[in-house]
Structure 1
Amino acid sequence: MSWLSSLTEHINNFFLVRWIRWLLIALLTVPIKIYQWIISPALPKTCRYHPSCSEYAVEALLIHGPVKGLIMGTKRILSCHPWGGHGHDPVPPKGTSLFKIFKPNKQ
């Protein structure tokens, strides 16, 4: 019966990790959604990117998880200034390395 209890423990740990991941994503997404629903409509449209930085951050969190998604969203928001980039900048596909994401674009 020890293999059964070991299997049960692994399954419980798996679901606990998934639940914590979901909770972190939800906690990080709620302030962004509040910004999108309440603050953003009151501001003039000045976004330099498509998708917008807030849309990008939510998508990055959902695709890449709370840690990598938070890093990617923060990088995107910090690059949103007159000397930063602009244009179409989609969220990289799942599995993309952070080293590749932080590599400067040669245009």
Structure 2
Amino acid sequence: MLCQLLIRVIQLYQFVISPWLPPMCRYTPTCSEYAIQALRTHGLWRGLRLAIGRLLRCHPFHPGGYDPVPMPEQMKY
């Protein structure tokens, strides 16, 4: 339930706030889409950890590029 609420908040950001900002994402998929995919694939805690890690990597000194959400079997716990 909390996971779905967080996804809705991110979607609200995507549809209400993001269109007013200049495109600046260094990654594909975008950080907000990555967060939604991570939450849906891994659940609240792991998905949130992946999303926060992605946001921390999103800065001008990182090259960016294609960075998909890892599948559960690819995760090293």
Q: Identify whether the pair has TM-score above 0.5, normalized to the shorter chain.
A: yes
Higher relative contact order (CA 8 A, sep 6+): 2
- Written as runs of structure 1 = structure 2, the 5 A alignment for 1:1-107 is 23-95=1-73, 96-98=75-77
1:93: Cα distance to partner?
Answer: 0.5
Structure 2 residues not aligned, in runs of 5+: none
The count of corresponding residues between Structure 1 and Structure 2 is 76
Aligned-partner Cα distance in 2 for 1:52–1:42: 16
Structure 1 residues not aligned, in runs of 5+: 1-22, 99-107
Q: Percent identity?
A: 47
RMSD: 1.1
Larger radius of gyration: 1
Q: Which runs of 4+ in 1 moved over 3 A?
A: none
TM-score, normalised by the number of residues in structure 2? 0.91
TM-score, normalised by the number of residues in structure 1? 0.67
